Structure 1
Amino acid sequence: MKALILAAGRGERMRPLTDRVPKPLLSVGGKPLIVWHLERLAGIGVREVVINTSWLADQFEPALGDGRQWRLTLSYSYEGPEPLETGGGMLRALDLLGHEAPFIAVNGDVWSDFDPALLPRQPTGEAHLVLVDNPAHNPEGDFSLDGTGVLSIDGPNRMTFAGIGVYRPSLLADWNTVIGAPDSAVEARPRFPLAPILRHAMRTGAVTGEHHRGQWTDVGTPQRLAELDASLSR
């Protein structure tokens, strides 16, 4: 199984730290955020990882190399000077991930003790997402998880998407129709978010999920970065 680490964002809320270093390369607990992901993915037998890049893209390969130190093969999906958002970035990376088999995708700017070995290798629908209890910065949550493991948009007890999941490439097959982009407007590097695609799939019950009750941090501010670093360093 292959994996994608989403690492192209500008990291505006992390400035000035991200003026010189891309957010996934910021260190916590003695190593870059992205290395935590690479180690966990390698630990469950993933051997090929694609990293999408844009902002300060030239820093990733010197920092991570070709992945052999983790027994991985790393490929880089460069999106150009402007990131293509989560949906556009994932669509572009399919040329490296493949257009048939499901793949793991992880946001490069989160940290969690979630074990990716728990993820299904063959999701029953188009995607399977990990949810966590709502943090203070997202009190309303994102999606609702019912007793059968199916996600919905408006159900009770909404939780927060952890930025960890398994996806089928077919989720993106009709992306332009879902977001209302006519064929004539589709560019070579389309830029669009993933959330509308997921919500569309949820309307037909095609997205499942699970609740992770362990540790998780969206490293979205310098304060959260410092708190996580102190916790891991202890």
Structure 2
Amino acid sequence: MTNGPKRAMVLAAGLGKRMRPITDTIPKPLVRVAGRALLDWGLDSLADAGVETAVVNVHYLPGQIVSHVATRTAPRVVISDESGGLLDSAGGIVRALPALGTEPFYIVNADTFWIDAEGSPGDAPNLARLALAWDAARMDILLMLAGLDQATGHSGSTDFRMDAAGALRRAKGDPAGLIYAGAAIVNPVIFADASPGPLSLNRYFDEAITAGRLFGVRMGGSWITVGTPDAIALAEAAVERALAVGAP
């Protein structure tokens, strides 16, 4: 898939409880970091990758997100309304499948973002790295992964170990592992038998591991997650550092 997926799912329906009191009045995807809403960091990356349609799911204070994305011109945004009940990561995708189509698509978390590496020969934007690495014959899911040294605001352990061919297994806390960096390409065929209701993507990660069809690509640049209000300043400092590295 040299040109990359043209559709994407943006997971934006979470409650953002740890971001209170900011999220008492706005949904977490609209929290601003370095002058840009978290949601826009992801949507801008998708637009730069050539994505034409992004499905954004909403639940908490959904009207604010609907109004916000209405001001965007690219990508075209389709709202998937989960105001009647949260469906978790995979359940939200299953609900949105009619708008996502039958071809592989990107998944992006709305509450994390990244700064692509720039300035070195061969550097490519991270979504382009995913598209270039995608191989439907071998993969059901391809994850973007970050090293602990690339992460700002991450308080957990690692998620996956990756072998020389890019195949993944659970890291089980191994400090030599990598973090799932909130972006992926997925083949929608894996959801063919899914029933409506809450479902976690972790179930599908584990099924793909068992089948030998979960792969990863280590990202370039910096990965940033903002879990609490006091993490915003750290995130903005990380953005400033990352952009300074890429400046001419």
Matched, 1:125 2:127: no
Q: What is the aligned-residue RMSD (CA, Å)?
A: 2.0
Task: Say which SS state the counterpart of residue 38 (structure 1) adopts.
Answer: helix
Aligned to 2:187, which of 162, 168, 182?
168
Q: Distance in 2 between matches of 1:211 and 1:205?
A: 18
For residues 25-56 of structure 1, the C-alpha deviation after alignment (integer angstroms, 9 at most, x for no partner) is 11111111111112121112111111011111
TM-score normalized by the length of structure 1: 0.86
Identify the residue that residue 5 of structure 1 maps to in structure 2. Answer: 10
Aligned to 1:22, which of 24, 27, 30?
27
Aligned to 2:109, which of 100, 107, 110?
107
- Taking every aligned residue pair, what percent have the same amino acid on both sides? 33
Q: Distance in 1 between matches of 2:240 and 2:13?
A: 27
Report how far residue 80 of structure 1 moved: 2.2
CA contact (8 A) 1:149 1:210 kept: yes
CA contact (8 A) 2:225 2:235 kept: no
Q: Distance in 2 between matches of 1:82 and 1:233?
A: 38
CA contact (8 A) 1:11 1:18 kept: yes
Aligned to 1:82, which of 76, 79, 85?
85
Structure 1 residue runs of 5 or longer lacking an equivalent are 176-185
Structure 2 residue runs of 5 or longer lacking an equivalent are 1-5, 117-124, 242-248
Runs of 4+ in 1 over 6 A off after TM superposition: none
Aligned residue pairs: how many?
Answer: 218
Aligned to 2:223, which of 203, 216, 229?
216
For residues 173-223 of structure 1, the C-alpha deviation after alignment (integer angstroms, 9 at most, x for no partner) is 244xxxxxxxxxx5xx40121102111111111111111242111211112
Q: Distance in 1 between matches of 2:67 and 2:17?
A: 23
Identify the residue that residue 179 of structure 1 maps to in structure 2. Answer: none
